[in-house]
């Protein structure tokens, strides 16, 4: 249905690129250094193919691609020296720091930014300016073991499920060998419930609200599974993370992202599982968390180099056939950042994973503002203490919120 549109877009992009780089191609050419972190072999090959396609389409531009297994440390050393690549990936958690360090060029050149999911753009926006182009993203959803539900005679979860439904199901599913819910002691899991319940880190007046009644209620709900034995931490289920506990059949439900699709299907081919949206909060609220990465251009790239860099970024993330569409068609764990290709991605991976895509429309990127590192650490601590049943959710959140308040006072 989109073929004519796709074709014209491709032609337009090509025309644009050719007109932009006609001059560059005529000369000796430019060399772009492009750095990114290493992920699965399939994704690394995909990035290499994208770059090769770009080079083929732009004879005047050479690309030196570095896929680093220790990206964080390597790019930081490059930043420190001041001699860093023209194009590189930025994770949502690094963005506030790197942006304030002046490492990133502003993203006026990003093609058709209106097609990119709002939540992803928010993650890479500072002072109302979008800096870099989201590459792809993941959201959290509720994974459930269909066989376990059927064996226990519990109706399968739906997108209309509430917290109460989830708690009741967890109780019914808990047996000697399996708990209802695998609940990692990770704030980037329970905060999906936090946002769903209407809680925020800062309220509308900008006051710290991390310990609001809604926040406490969310953490109490998440902790209740461990407290009443209908759930457990993955470590106590003989597993390194939620996905493993769920795959092994040690837990009938868990909250994880779309990265779990490939892992579960490869490692546990016999697992009969489904996925639905995170259950509705008592007030009917809905939320999930999103995790994303973008391709950014160095603030030090100027002139021809900057043009070439943006051309590459648009080539890899734009609406063209080699950009977001290719991400969708590759059909691996991550989803394309542009909404119009969500269907393509689902066709590739399977319609049963629709909940991950649905979540994108209301997903929140959990980001702690710059200067709040201590609060970040304190909220991790609070999560651990609550999930190991050493502290009460209200006290733990109050302690963490006090740290945020102290920082806020200092910053003012």
Give the residues lining the site for another protein (CB under 8 A).
72-73, 76, 79-82, 84, 93-94, 96-98, 101-103, 184-186, 233, 235-238, 240, 367-368, 370, 372-374, 376-378, 380-381, 383-385, 387-388, 390, 403, 406
94 vs 200 by CB, closer to another protein: 94
Smallest Cα–Cα separation from 298: which of 93, 98, 136?
Answer: 98
244 vs 354 by CB, closer to another protein: 244
346 vs 386 by CB, closer to another protein: 386
Is 342:92 a contact under the CB 8 Å cutoff? no
Is 343:360 a contact under the CB 8 Å cutoff? no
DSSP bridge partners of 211: none
Q: Burial of 205 by CB count in 10 Å (0-12 exposed, 13-18 middle, 19+ buried)?
A: exposed
* Four-residue CA torsion sign, 355, 287, 135, 263: negative
In Å, what is the CA distance from 197 to each residue of 42, 122, 133, 186, 348? 37, 21, 30, 18, 33
Q: Burial of 95 by CB count in 10 Å (0-12 exposed, 13-18 middle, 19+ buried)?
A: buried
Minimum distance from residue 3 beta carbon to another protein (Å): 42
Secondary structure string (H, E, C) spanning 209-250 = CCCCHHHHHHHHHHHHHHHCCCEECHHHHCCCCHHHHHHCCC
Minimum distance from residue 93 beta carbon to another protein (Å): 4
1 vs 73 by CB, closer to another protein: 73
50 vs 383 by CB, closer to another protein: 383
Minimum distance from residue 403 beta carbon to another protein (Å): 6
Minimum distance from residue 34 beta carbon to another protein (Å): 18
Length of the chain: 412
Minimum distance from residue 385 beta carbon to another protein (Å): 8
184 vs 316 by CB, closer to another protein: 184
Minimum distance from residue 374 beta carbon to another protein (Å): 5
DSSP conformation letters of 307-327: HHHHHHHHHHHSSSTTTHHHH
Per DSSP, which regions of 107-250 are E strands? 125-126, 129-130, 133-145, 179-182, 231-232
Minimum distance from residue 152 beta carbon to another protein (Å): 22
3 vs 73 by CB, closer to another protein: 73
């Amino acid at each position: 249905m989109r073929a004519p549109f796709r074709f014209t877009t491709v032609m337009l992009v090509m025309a644009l690129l050719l007109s932009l780089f006609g001059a560059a191609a005529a000369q000796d050419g430019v060399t772009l250094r492009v750095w990114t972190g290493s992920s699965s072999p399939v994704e690394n090959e995909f990035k290499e193919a994208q770059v090769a396609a770009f080079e083929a389409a732009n004879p005047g531009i050479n690309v030196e691609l570095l896929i680093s297994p220790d990206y964080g440390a390597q790019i930081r050393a490059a930043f420190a020296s001041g001699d860093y690549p023209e194009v590189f990936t930025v994770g949502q958690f690094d963005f506030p720091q790197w942006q304030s360090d002046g490492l990133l060029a502003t993203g006026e050149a990003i093609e058709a930014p209106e097609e990119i999911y709002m939540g992803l753009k928010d993650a890479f926006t500072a002072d109302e300016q979008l800096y870099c182009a989201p590459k792809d993203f993941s959201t959290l959803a509720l994974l459930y073991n269909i066989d376990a539900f059927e064996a226990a005679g519990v109706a399968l979860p739906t997108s209309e499920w509430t917290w109460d439904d989830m708690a009741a199901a967890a109780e019914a599913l808990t047996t000697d060998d399996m708990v209802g819910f695998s609940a990692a002691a990770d704030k980037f899991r329970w905060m999906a419930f936090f946002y769903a319940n209407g809680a925020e880190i800062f309220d509308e007046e900008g006051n710290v609200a991390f310990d609001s009644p809604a926040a406490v209620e969310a953490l109490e709900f998440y902790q209740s599974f461990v407290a009443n034995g209908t759930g457990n931490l993955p470590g106590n289920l003989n597993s390194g993370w939620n996905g493993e506990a769920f795959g092994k059949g040690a837990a009938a439900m868990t909250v994880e992202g779309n990265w779990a699709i490939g892992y579960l299907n490869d490692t546990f081919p016999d697992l009969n599982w489904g996925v639905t949206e995170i259950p509705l909060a008592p007030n009917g609220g809905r939320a999930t968390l999103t995790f994303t990465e973008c391709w950014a251009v160095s603030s030090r790239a100027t002139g021809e180099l900057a043009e070439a860099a943006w051309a590459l970024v648009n080539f890899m993330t734009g609406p063209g056939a080699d950009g977001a569409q290719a991400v969708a068609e590759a059909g691996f764990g991550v989803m394309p950042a542009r909404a119009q290709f969500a269907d393509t991605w689902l066709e590739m991976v399977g319609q049963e994973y629709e909940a991950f895509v649905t979540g994108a429309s209301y997903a929140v990127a959990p980001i702690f503002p710059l200067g709040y590192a201590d609060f970040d650490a304190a909220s991790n601590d609070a999560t651990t203490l609550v999930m190991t049943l050493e502290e009460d959710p209200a006290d733990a959140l109050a302690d963490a919120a006090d740290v945020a308040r102290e920082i806020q006072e200092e910053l003012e």
